[in-house]
């Protein structure tokens, strides 16, 4: 049992270099072993009834578990970065998306005589795809996507206002 906080820290500092080597061997390359060890030492300090004879085993276990947690966070971050469905929502105003989709639905009903490419573009907008994604599918740029939608809108307006 630890008789004072200074005893814990004195014994922990003796183990620090060894714990850093343990963390470096267990954690992903993106993790900082020193941060992992310092977190383990702080967590160990929270246990007033910790047996000093078991301190090395306790701290090694905490370091390994923190490495596992860090590796799990890294794996999830990589998976999220690779899967478009897991990206956070667009910073675009939600009302813009709703209006764009409603307008796209209105356009679909009026596109019967338009070229296939125009119908495909409007369909993708209706499905809620972002313009960058549409641009990739159509082999154009996001600005090209906006311009094509603008031209489609003008043709629709010319058909129904003239």
Domain with residue 153: its CATH number is 1.10.10
Tell me the pLDDT of the chain averaged across its residues: 84
Cα 146 vs. chain centroid, distance in angstroms? 27
pLDDT grade for 18, boundaries at 50, 70 and 90:
very high
| Of the residues 86, 111, 129, the one at which a domain ends | 86
pLDDT grade for 35, boundaries at 50, 70 and 90:
very high
Alpha-carbon span 36 to 28, nearest angstrom: 11
Alpha-carbon span 152 to 162, nearest angstrom: 15
Q: What is the pLDDT of residue 92?
A: 67
Domain hosting 127: range is 94-161
pLDDT grade for 107, boundaries at 50, 70 and 90:
low
Q: Give percent of the chain with pLDDT exceeding 90.
A: 28
Q: Under a CB-based contact definition with an 8 Å cutoff, are residues 101 and 125 in contact? A: yes
Q: What is the pTM of this model?
A: 0.51
| 106 and 156 within one domain | yes
| 107 and 77 within one domain | no
| 101 and 80 within one domain | no
Residue with the bigger pLDDT between 108 and 101: it is 101
| 82 and 118 within one domain | no
| 41 and 80 within one domain | yes
Alpha-carbon span 20 to 160, nearest angstrom: 72
- Residues in Cβ contact with 115 at an 8 Å cutoff, skipping those fewer than 6 apart: none
Alpha-carbon span 64 to 46, nearest angstrom: 18
Q: Under a CB-based contact definition with an 8 Å cutoff, are residues 125 and 104 in contact? A: yes
Total domains, the chain: 2
Give the DSSP per-residue string, 5-34. HHHHHHHHHHHHHHHHHHHHHHS-TTS-HH
| 54 and 30 within one domain | yes
Q: What is the pLDDT of residue 90?
A: 63
| Of the residues 86, 119, 147, the one at which a domain ends | 86
Q: Under a CB-based contact definition with an 8 Å cutoff, are residues 152 and 118 in contact? A: yes
Alpha-carbon span 2 to 11, nearest angstrom: 10
Which tens digit of pLDDT belongs to each residue from 114-144?
Answer: 888 888 888 888 888 888 888 888 888 888 8
Instruction: Tell me the backbone φ, ψ of residue 32, rounded to 5 degrees.
Output: -95, 115
pLDDT grade for 13, boundaries at 50, 70 and 90:
very high
| pLDDT over 90 (residue 62) | yes
| Of the residues 64, 86, 108, the one at which a domain ends | 86
Q: What is the pLDDT of residue 3?
A: 65
């Amino acid at each position: 049992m630890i008789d004072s906080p200074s005893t814990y820290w004195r014994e922990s500092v003796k183990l620090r270099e060894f714990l850093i080597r343990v963390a470096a061997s267990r954690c992903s390359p993106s993790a900082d072993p020193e941060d992992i060890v310092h977190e383990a030492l702080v967590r160990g300090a929270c246990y007033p009834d910790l047996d000093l004879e078991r301190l090395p085993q306790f701290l090694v276990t905490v370091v390994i578990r923190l490495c596992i947690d860090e590796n799990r966070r890294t794996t999830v971050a990589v998976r999220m970065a690779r899967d478009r469905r897991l990206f956070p929502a667009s910073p675009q105003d939600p009302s813009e998306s709703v209006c764009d989709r409603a307008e796209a639905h209105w356009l679909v009903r009026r596109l019967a005589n338009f070229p296939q490419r125009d119908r495909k573009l409007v369909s993708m907008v209706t499905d809620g795809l972002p313009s960058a994604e549409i641009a990739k599918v159509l082999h154009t740029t996001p600005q090209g996507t906006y311009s094509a939608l603008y031209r489609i809108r003008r043709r629709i307006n010319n058909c129904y206002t003239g």
